[in-house]
Amino acid sequence: MSERRVVAVIPARGGSKGVPRKNVRRVGGVPLVERAICAALAADGVDLVVVSTDDAEIAAVSRAAGARVVMRPAEIAGDTASSESAVLHALEVLEAEGTDAGIVVFLQATSPFIPSAGISRGIAAVRDEGFDCAFSAVATYGFLWARADDGTARAINHDASRRPRRQDREPHHLETGAFYVFDADGFRAARHRFFGRIAIVEVPESSAIEIDDADQLAIAVAIAPLVAPPEPIDVDAIVTDFDGVHTDDTASVDAEGHESVRVSRSDGMGVALLRRADIPLLILSSEVHPVVRARAEKLGVPVVHGLADKVTALREWAAGLGIPLDRIAYLGNDVNDLPPMAVVGWPVAVADAEPAVRSAARVVLQRGGGAGAVRELADRVLAARVADATD
């Protein structure tokens, strides 16, 4: 039997009801299950990340994100199946393959902002501090009440006749549901996530949102750019729209009907730097206008314009270069960019993009269209390459 390891297990069914296909819905441009995988991989002490699923799409996304996939039998994949049953099954499969889990980190993909540092503290509590299990929680000073059968209210965590100041109260702690850490042998015996000595891992309140319905998903999408730290944009190719990305989305028209647009010289330098680094670039545009081709020729970038179906053109270009879609960044600004943004690994929005595009983006840039957005993206892609080379 191999060395006992710290194994992170993420149960992710395909048949969610409240939000259909919930575990592959995107927050900050990243599928929820992938966000959980990345949080686990970034935590100190995690040796292996496993996704337990009954769904082919979830399995594919999980493998691409770096997780080991355990396919879950139908009898523990229904609405009434417990998460514990999925974790126990995953441990049995791993054990049969020779992987002996000593500590288990159980993560829920429905928490989109799982703090990796919190996972690390939970592991330390079980591995080094004598606790049997630990869970993520936020401190709350709220006054809780319960309603009796006759409709009257009853104070739960306070004396209603006293109203102490916040600084004079001890906080209670509310489970976030994001992660639980426990000794594997104790879990197998208890068959439940709570047993023995239990530790609280306090995490930021911003990480506490759980997605169980469409409103919570909308809130998570809206706050993702504020909560999630900036990521290195590590890609192998870039595709952009033209109007509103290379331009400021306005046009000047003279008396003869000739149009001109405003572009950024800084963007031109960004494109030159990308070409120098041999990073493929493509412009996809819905418009058929001489200025699009003229600008693309000046930049030395291939262009496909007059498109009704950007996704097909994007897929064909990527396949021709042999670049997986999850290694491509697509930079857009308007709703016709949403379909191609949905199929790449790095959907990116200019600062002044339409709200729906900003919500769909994994990254929202600081600069607007025609004002250096392409240069900003180029700089961040090149910086990620330098960081990879020095690791």
The answer as to whether 148 is a domain residue is no
- What 3-state DSSP class applies to 369? coil
Distance CA 180, CA 174 (A): 13
Given this model, what pLDDT does residue 391 score? 60
User: Residue 231 has which token pair?
Assistant: 């990521």
Please indicate, yes or no, whether residues 271 and 173 belong to a single structural domain of this protein: no
Domain membership of residue 151 (yes or no) is: no
Which helix H or strand E contains 341, and what residues bound it? helix 338-343
Helix (H/G/I), strand (E/B), else coil: 307: coil
What pLDDT was estimated at residue 303?
94
The answer to whether residue 74 sits within a structural domain is yes
Look up the CATH number of the domain holding residue 336. Answer: 3.40.50.1000
Residues 297 and 350 reside in one and the same domain: yes
In one letter, which amino acid is 335? V
Kindly state whether residue 155 falls inside one of the protein's structural domains.
Answer: no
User: Which among 176, 199, 226 is the end of a domain?
Assistant: 226
In a domain, 103, yes or no: yes
Residues 333 and 293 both lie in one domain = yes
Is 245 found in the same domain as 202?
A: no
Domain's final residue, options 176, 200, 226: 226
- Does 220 lie in the same domain as 243? no
Measuring CA to CA, which residue among 301, 293, 295 is closest to residue 317? Answer: 301
Bridge-based pairing of strands 346-349 and 328-332 is parallel
Residue 256 within any structural domain of the chain: yes
- Structural domain boundaries enclosing 40: 5-141+168-226
Q: Which of 226, 246, 261 is the last residue of a domain?
A: 226
208 & 319 share domain:
no
Tell me: do 30 and 114 sit in the same domain. Answer: yes
What is d(CA 60, CA 12) in angstroms, rounded to the nearest whole number? Answer: 12
Looking at the structure, tell me whether residues 281 and 318 fall in a common domain: yes
CA distances from residue 118 to 37, 39, 87 in whole angstroms, order as listed: 14, 10, 20
Q: Is residue 310 part of a domain?
A: yes
3-state secondary structure of 390: helix
Whether residues 244 and 291 fall in one domain: yes
Q: Are residues 74 and 214 located together in one domain of the fold?
A: yes
**Per the structure, how many domains does the chain have?**
2
Q: Are 221 and 176 part of one and the same domain?
A: yes
Tens of pLDDT, residues 2-53: 457 999 999 999 988 789 999 999 998 899 999 999 999 999 999 999 999 9
pLDDT of residue 139: 94
pLDDT < 70 stretches in the chain: 1-3, 389-391
3 state DSSP class of 382: helix
Which pLDDT score, from 0 to 100, does residue 1 have? 39
Residues 6+ apart with CB under 8 A from 23: 12, 13, 14, 16, 31, 32, 33, 53, 55, 58, 109, 110
CATH value at residue 177: 3.90.550.10
Domain shared by 43 and 68, yes or no = yes
In a domain, 363, yes or no: yes
Kindly state the DSSP code that residue 360 receives in the 8-state scheme: H
Contact present, 101 and 7 (Cβ < 8 Å):
yes
**Where are the strands (E) in the chain, listed by range?**
5-11, 26-27, 30-31, 48-53, 68-71, 101-107, 133-140, 145-147, 153-155, 172-183, 198-202, 237-240, 247-253, 259-263, 281-285, 303-305, 328-332, 346-349, 363-364
